[in-house]
């Protein structure tokens, strides 16, 4: 018999005539064929007879034994034969880590909220929501406190800076009063925006640390997030102000000449050039904030890192950022609008008060609107910050193999 594993020659058992102690003239108790008597000296009979089970019928050619199968090539970890060209696979096809194949491929390691491999849009959005849901004890207090402080200050600013607001000009209103009203409006808007930016910087700094730990499957308390973010906080303020200042200077260079020349066409041309350029640079440097916080770099290095990570993927980063902004805007509007209309109807005096501007300074309207904004910002701010951090992580995985470093940091054994 052939002793190769998993293979046997035709004829399942040796002949009984080869068994010691078995007479040739007795029938086979196991159901085998009886060995016939060989006449002495008969030349037609061979000295060796084939064992039972290998006799062929007259006129039928003897079936040759089936050759053993060729040895299968050794395969690597993903089903790829060793020393074979890429793409020449035997057997089932396997996909990338975490993908699906005919027999299933090894899933990507997922120590935290995302799998450690290049991410899709749904995985980035789901990772942000999963972090908010899993680590809500750290995420919600940060955003809730910051949003509350921002909105309380905003209520007082609107109440006292917009009390003399004039919305409808009349014969009794002088040009000086109109300019004063416009100045009050712009001043209140500037103060609110400044407070909002400062609050966003604090939230972004702390949430970046929480999301970075959530990727590794680690929990982070509010105090730990503040301790990790505090050394880079001033640099993050400088980065934000530098981006705002750059946008204003670029607008001044492109639009101001048309204003000084009192040329409408030149003004429109300046805006047409300024807005797309502002959008392009905004996406190009959109990953500077997580790069600054997580790489402990300087402001200029953070800009360079963001530019490098976004290069070649501008449209993808733009699409994910725009979709995130759209989702956040719609969600915030769904939350804020009922509070604003309730405040307007219950305390603002209705549509007439809205027309003359008194509704915007009524305490009831301001307070209810602030409550709606607090709830909306508590939900929206961590969602947007989380998407930005995970987009940064995804771009580094795609370009720099960050998943290997993350796996080692998370304690995943034999990854990669």
Tens-place pLDDT, residues 273-295: 999 999 999 999 999 999 999 99
Q: How confident is the model at residue 66 (pLDDT cuts 50, 70, 90)?
A: low
Q: Which residues of 112-134 are buried (b: 16+ CB within 10 A; e: fewer)?
A: bbbbbbbbeeebbbebbebbbee
Q: Tally the C-alpha atoms within 13 A of residue 303's C-alpha that lie toward its C-beta.
A: 11
Handedness of CA 399, 403, 405, 409 (dihedral sign): positive
Please give the pLDDT value at position 145: 94
Please give the pLDDT value at position 181: 59
Handedness of CA 218, 221, 226, 227 (dihedral sign): negative
3-state secondary structure of 75: strand
3-state secondary structure of 114: coil
Residue 64 has pLDDT above 60, yes or no: no
The pLDDT tens digits for 36-63 are 454 444 444 444 554 544 444 444 444 4
**R_g of the chain, CA atoms, integer Å:** 39
CA distance to 159, 359, 361, per residue, from 177 (Å) = 18, 20, 18
Please give the pLDDT value at position 179: 59
- Top-confidence residue, 84 or 64: 64
Please give the pLDDT value at position 306: 97
What percent of the chain is predicted at pLDDT more than 70?
Answer: 64
Kindly report the average pLDDT of the chain as a whole number: 76
Please give the pLDDT value at position 5: 34
How many domains, in total, are found in the chain?
A: 1
Domain span at residue 398 reads 121-230+312-410
Residue 307 in domain: no
Phi–psi pair at 75, nearest 5 degrees: -110, 155
Q: How far apart are CA 394 and CA 309, in angstroms?
A: 10
- Mean pLDDT, rounded, for 161-179: 56
Residue 99 has pLDDT above 60, yes or no: no
Q: How confident is the model at residue 254 (pLDDT cuts 50, 70, 90)?
A: very high
Please give the pLDDT value at position 360: 65
Please give the pLDDT value at position 143: 95
DSSP 389-412: HHHHHHHHHHHH-HHHHHHHHHT-
3-state secondary structure of 257: helix
Inter-residue contact 335 to 379 (CB < 8 Å) = yes
Inter-residue contact 415 to 116 (CB < 8 Å) = yes
Residue 175 in domain: yes
3-state secondary structure of 81: strand
Q: How far apart are CA 190 and CA 135, in angstroms?
A: 34
Please give the pLDDT value at position 260: 87
Residue 94 in domain: no
Residue 219 in domain: yes
The pLDDT tens digits for 191-238 are 778 888 888 899 999 999 999 999 999 998 999 999 999 999 999 999
Residue 257 in domain: no
Residue 132 in domain: yes
Residue 173 in domain: yes
Residue 81 in domain: no
Residue 343 has pLDDT above 70, yes or no: yes
- Mean pLDDT, rounded, for 355-374: 77
- Mean pLDDT, rounded, for 159-167: 60
């Amino acid at each position: 018999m052939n002793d190769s594993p998993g293979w046997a020659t035709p004829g399942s058992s040796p002949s009984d005539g080869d068994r010691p102690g078995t007479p040739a003239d007795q029938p086979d108790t196991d159901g085998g064929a009886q060995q016939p008597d060989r006449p002495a000296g008969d030349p037609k009979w061979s000295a060796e007879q084939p064992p039972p089970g290998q006799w062929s019928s007259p006129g039928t050619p003897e079936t040759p034994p089936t050759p053993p199968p060729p040895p299968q090539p050794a395969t690597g970890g993903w089903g790829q034969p060793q020393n074979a060209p890429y793409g020449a696979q035997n057997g089932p096809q396997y996909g990338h880590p975490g993908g699906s194949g005919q027999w299933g491929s090894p899933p990507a390691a997922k120590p935290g909220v995302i799998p450690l491999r290049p991410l899709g849009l749904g995985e980035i959005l789901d990772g942000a929501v999963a972090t908010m849901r899993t680590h809500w004890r750290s995420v919600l207090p940060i955003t809730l406190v910051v949003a509350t402080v921002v909105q309380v200050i905003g209520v007082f600013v609107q109440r006292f800076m917009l009390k003399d607001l004039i919305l409808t000009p009349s014969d009794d209103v002088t040009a000086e009063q109109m300019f004063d009203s416009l100045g009050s409006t712009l001043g209140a808007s500037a103060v609110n925006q400044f407070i909002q930016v400062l609050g966003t910087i604090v939230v972004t700094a702390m949430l970046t640390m929480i999301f970075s730990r959530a990727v590794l499957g680690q929990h982070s308390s509010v105090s730990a997030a503040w301790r990790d973010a505090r050394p880079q906080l001033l640099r993050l303020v400088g980065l934000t102000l530098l981006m705002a200042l750059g946008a204003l200077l670029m607008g001044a260079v492109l639009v101001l000449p048309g204003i000084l020349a009192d040329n409408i066409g030149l003004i429109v041309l300046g805006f047409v050039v300024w807005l797309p350029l502002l959008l392009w640079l905004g996406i190009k440097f959109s990953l500077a904030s997580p790069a600054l916080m997580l790489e402990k770099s300087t402001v200029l290095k953070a800009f360079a890192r963001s530019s490098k990570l976004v290069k070649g993927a501008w449209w993808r980063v733009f699409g994910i950022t725009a979709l995130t902004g759209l989702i956040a805007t719609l969600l915030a509007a769904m939350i804020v609008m009922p509070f604003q209309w309730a405040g307007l109807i219950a305390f603002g005096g209705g549509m007439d008060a809205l027309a003359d501007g008194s509704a915007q300074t009524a305490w009831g309207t301001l307070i209810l609107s602030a409550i709606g904004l607090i709830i909306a910002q508590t939900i929206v701010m961590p969602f947007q910050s989380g998407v930005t951090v995970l987009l940064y992580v995804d771009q580094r995985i795609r370009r720099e193999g960050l998943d290997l470093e993350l796996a080692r940091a998370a304690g995943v054994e034999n990854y990669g």
